[in-house]
Amino acid sequence: MCELFAMSSRMPATLSFSLERLARRGGAEGPHRDGWGIAFYEGPDCLLLREPRPASESPLMQFMGHQGLRTRMALSHIRLATFGNRSLRNTQPFLRELGGRMHVFAHNGDLPALLNTADDPQAPFRPVGETDSERVFCDLLTRLAPLWRDAGDAVPALADRLAVIGAHAADLRRLGTANFLYADGDALFVHADRRTQLDGRIRPPGLYLLQRCCWRSAPELADSGVELQSVRQDVALVASAPLTDELWQPLGEGDLIALADGCCYNAAGMLSPPEQVADPAPSQRPSAAGRSVSGVGC
């Protein structure tokens, strides 16, 4: 299966270390050699970079790892092809416009039944490539489009968007495995299902969550006459497998959350501490120390 990674932060953060670890798994430490892509958001727009080549052999990915880009929201995908050949049109994440915003989607799993459905030439969103993942994205946007149309120039309520995404995710779970990341520039939506584990069995967890809260100084303001002792940074990270030795929280099968400004919201759109997103065993629940560490975004 493919590898997913996403970040949401309160203040702009530079992605480097976590992406470097993810890239090493994309061919150097794993079989995921069929392409990679990453989307960096700036407000309603985003920069999308993707290549149908191993991330671990990509000079562009190496540059990104060393240089990094500052953003408050990003999501990434490293591909192990199952449906569709190795080509740019089949390389995730996928991108579409809706409601004057760029929407981005990345999927990990297999939904072969979707490939047997014929394309509707009148559909508002149609796939460019041959993957089941892009069909999922087009169908999701079709379901979300009425919300954005009715909202006019505003952003639809978070709870309304979560309800549509949750219903779509439930349909997908009946067809196969469906871990996915979806962003609309306002929020980053995470749906966890199952994935192939190290023992070869398909079971949860399909995704892991890590939340960080830290404080950093702002010395760049010293010469301006402004005194600011520290700035709070909240960061939420999602990955197919833990990327560090910190206490990543496994998400349960069917869990749906939204991330915005580094904070986590449950499927009802309510702000949720990370230990309340799912209900893991007490020994698996992240401690406060595990959530308050330095690193990406700090």
The set of catalytic residues is: 2
| CB environment 42-61: b (16+ within 10 A), e (fewer) | eeeebebbbbbbbbbebeeb
